[in-house]
């Protein structure tokens, strides 16, 4: 129905990857996305290797389809996380906040595909050189840590800069957006925010309700020194802004952030928790099984792409030829 070269590379039905959100992307969500024909991804975040192994084993018990792991390169446990990925022969990894280059030879030996998430053209080129199999160009519309460029601006520049397949992330929640990025040269998408509200996602109900309630301008981009994090506005972001106004140091700002993502995901603290979500949060309207989300998006993208040829009027094509 809708397939790209990426689907062959990853042996999946639809070109939809689920974001490897730390704390949020558990085995249950990853398995549900993979069962539905996308690529589910377990977010390793800052977890130790053995915690990840339990998640991988759980996902394997829930699905026989391929799934991936997201490796967060600022984690103190990166080396043991990679070791577990090699031992458990996970099919695909996506990476964030760093360069997986030094691990690529070992991963390739096991046939594990490596797909880094990057926010700039320079990093896309560097990742291609180090042997990445594909790349995810993530625009600043996304939730969590983000770069400076929008998906609209970043994606076509990355598509032109590398030969490996490119996926788009940031600002994608429905079939129109999937169709749009396919038209810009992407071979697939990574979606995070919409999957927070998947029925199988294990985040606290309060977190899901906060996403469902969000309006278009309800996300807040906090950050300094080129490091930005997008979250839903709440008491925590008000406190953050107050500290900034008072000229607080980086240490004070960092201290405010410690443990906030866990507080939101596990305890459901919507006031002082870090409710990471992208600008498309307002487009997420209900809690649905992952299969329904994926089928809705694919059906809509196909419809949009089928309708577009109607924009091409024969007479005008002739006019263009004559002008040439
Ligand atoms: O990583 C993300 N998004 C994230 S991470 C996160 S929060 C978190 N909290 C606790 C534990 C774990 C995670 C929330 N959102 N996006 C991918 C991303 N990668 N954005 C930017 C980059 C990046 C930055 C530098 C990729 C490569 C890079 O390379 C630098 C180098 O070493 O060359």
* Phi, psi for 27 (deg, rounded to 5): -55, -40
Q: Is 72 in the pocket of ligand 1 (CB under 6 A)?
A: yes
Over residues 222-230, mean pLDDT: 84
The reported pLDDT for the residue numbered 160 is 98
Give yes or no for residue 319 having a pLDDT over 60. no
What does the alpha-carbon distance between residue 225 and residue 87 come to, in Å, rounded to a whole number?
38
Mean pLDDT of the chain: 95
* 171, 280 Cβ separation under 8 angstroms: yes
Question: CB neighbours of 178 closer than 8 A, spacing ≥ 6?
Answer: 15, 16, 172, 189, 297, 298, 300, 301
- Residue 1 binned pLDDT confidence (cut-offs 50, 70, 90): confident
Would residue 278 count as lying in a domain? Answer: no
Would residue 320 count as lying in a domain? Answer: no
The reply to whether 251 and 113 lie within a common domain is no
Would residue 132 count as lying in a domain? Answer: yes
Over residues 243-254, mean pLDDT: 90
The reply to whether 76 and 25 lie within a common domain is yes
* 96, 117 Cβ separation under 8 angstroms: yes
- Helix orientation angle between 49-62 and 27-35, rounded to the nearest 10 degrees: 30
Output the CA 114–ligand 1 centroid distance in Å: 15
Considering only CA atoms, give the Rg of the chain: 20
The reply to whether 225 and 152 lie within a common domain is no
The reported pLDDT for the residue numbered 321 is 52
Q: What is the dihedral angle through the alpha carbons of 140, 28, 112, 96, rounded to the nearest 10 degrees? A: 20
Both tokens assigned to 284: 């997420």
The reply to whether 166 and 289 lie within a common domain is yes
The reply to whether 42 and 97 lie within a common domain is yes
The reply to whether 18 and 113 lie within a common domain is yes
CATH number, domain containing residue 81: 3.20.20.70
The reported pLDDT for the residue numbered 315 is 61
Q: Which of 52, 73, 96 to mutate to test the pocket of ligand 1 (most atoms within 8 A of CB)?
A: 96
The reported pLDDT for the residue numbered 310 is 80
Would residue 279 count as lying in a domain? Answer: no
Among protein residues, the one with the nearest Cα to ligand 1's atom 4 is 145
* 40, 34 Cβ separation under 8 angstroms: yes
Q: Is 99 in the pocket of ligand 1 (CB under 6 A)?
A: yes
Would residue 250 count as lying in a domain? Answer: yes
Q: Which of 24, 93, 97, 261 to mutate to test the pocket of ligand 1 (most atoms within 8 A of CB)?
A: 97
Over residues 77-89, mean pLDDT: 98
Which carries the bigger pLDDT value, residue 320 or residue 137?
137
Would residue 159 count as lying in a domain? Answer: yes
**DSSP string spanning 90-130?**
-SEEEEESS--GGGHHHHHHTT-EEEEEESSHHHHHHHHHT
Q: Is 22 in the pocket of ligand 1 (CB under 6 A)?
A: yes
The reply to whether 163 and 229 lie within a common domain is no
The reply to whether 88 and 153 lie within a common domain is yes
What does the alpha-carbon distance between residue 170 and residue 201 come to, in Å, rounded to a whole number?
19
Give yes or no for residue 324 having a pLDDT over 70. no
The reported pLDDT for the residue numbered 312 is 83
Give yes or no for residue 318 having a pLDDT over 80. no
Q: What is the pLDDT of residues 9-40, one digit of tens each?
A: 999 999 999 999 999 999 999 999 999 999 99
The reply to whether 144 and 124 lie within a common domain is yes
Over residues 253-281, mean pLDDT: 96
Give yes or no for residue 317 having a pLDDT over 80. no
Over residues 171-184, mean pLDDT: 98
Would residue 313 count as lying in a domain? Answer: no
The reply to whether 224 and 296 lie within a common domain is no
- Residue 115 binned pLDDT confidence (cut-offs 50, 70, 90): very high
The reply to whether 126 and 20 lie within a common domain is yes
What does the alpha-carbon distance between residue 209 and residue 216 come to, in Å, rounded to a whole number?
15
Question: CB neighbours of 313 closer than 8 A, spacing ≥ 6?
Answer: none
Would residue 196 count as lying in a domain? Answer: yes
The reported pLDDT for the residue numbered 316 is 60
Q: Which domain holds residue 15?
A: 5-203+285-300
Number of domains in the chain: 2
Share of residues in the chain with pLDDT > 90 (%): 90
| Residue whose C-alpha is closest to residue 11's, from 117, 136, 111, 135 | 111
Both tokens assigned to 93: 């990894």
Among protein residues, the one with the nearest Cα to ligand 1's atom 3 is 145
Over residues 146-163, mean pLDDT: 97
- Residue 320 binned pLDDT confidence (cut-offs 50, 70, 90): low
The reply to whether 213 and 189 lie within a common domain is no
Both tokens assigned to 112: 């594990």
């Amino acid at each position: 129905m809708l397939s790209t070269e990426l689907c062959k590379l990853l042996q999946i039905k639809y070109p939809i990857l689920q974001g490897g959100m730390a704390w949020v992307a558990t085995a249950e969500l990853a398995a549900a996305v993979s069962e539905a024909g996308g690529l589910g991804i377990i977010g390793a975040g800052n977890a130790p290797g053995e915690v990840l192994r339990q998640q991988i084993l759980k996902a394997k018990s829930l699905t026989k389809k391929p799934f991936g792991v997201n490796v967060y390169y600022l984690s103190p446990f990166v080396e043991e996380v990679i070791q577990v990925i090699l031992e458990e022969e996970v099919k695909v990894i996506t990476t964030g906040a760093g360069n997986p280059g030094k691990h690529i030879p070992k991963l390739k030996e096991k046939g594990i595909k490596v797909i880094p998430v990057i926010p700039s053209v320079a990093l896309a080129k560097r990742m291609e050189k180090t042997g990445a199999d594909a790349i995810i160009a993530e625009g600043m519309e996304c939730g969590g840590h983000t770069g400076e460029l929008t998906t609209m601006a970043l994606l076509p520049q990355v598509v032109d800069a590398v030969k490996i397949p490119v996926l788009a992330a940031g600002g994608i929640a429905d079939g129109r957006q999937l169709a749009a990025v396919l038209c810009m040269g992407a071979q697939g998408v990574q979606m995070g925010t919409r999957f927070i509200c998947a029925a199988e996602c294990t985040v606290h109900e309060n977190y899901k309700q906060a996403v469902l309630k969000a309006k278009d301008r309800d996300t807040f981009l906090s950050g300094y020194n080129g490091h930005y994090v997008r979250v839903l506005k709440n008491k925590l972001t008000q406190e953050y802004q107050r500290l900034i106004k008072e000229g607080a140091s980086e240490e004070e700002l960092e201290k405010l952030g410690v443990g906030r993502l866990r507080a939101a995901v596990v305890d459901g603290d919507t006031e002082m928790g870090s409710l990471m979500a992208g600008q498309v949060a307002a487009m997420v309207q209900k809690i649905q099984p992952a299969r329904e989300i994926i089928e809705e998006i694919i059906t809509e993208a196909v419809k949009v792409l089928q309708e577009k040829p109607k924009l091409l009027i024969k007479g005008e094509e002739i006019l263009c030829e004559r002008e040439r």
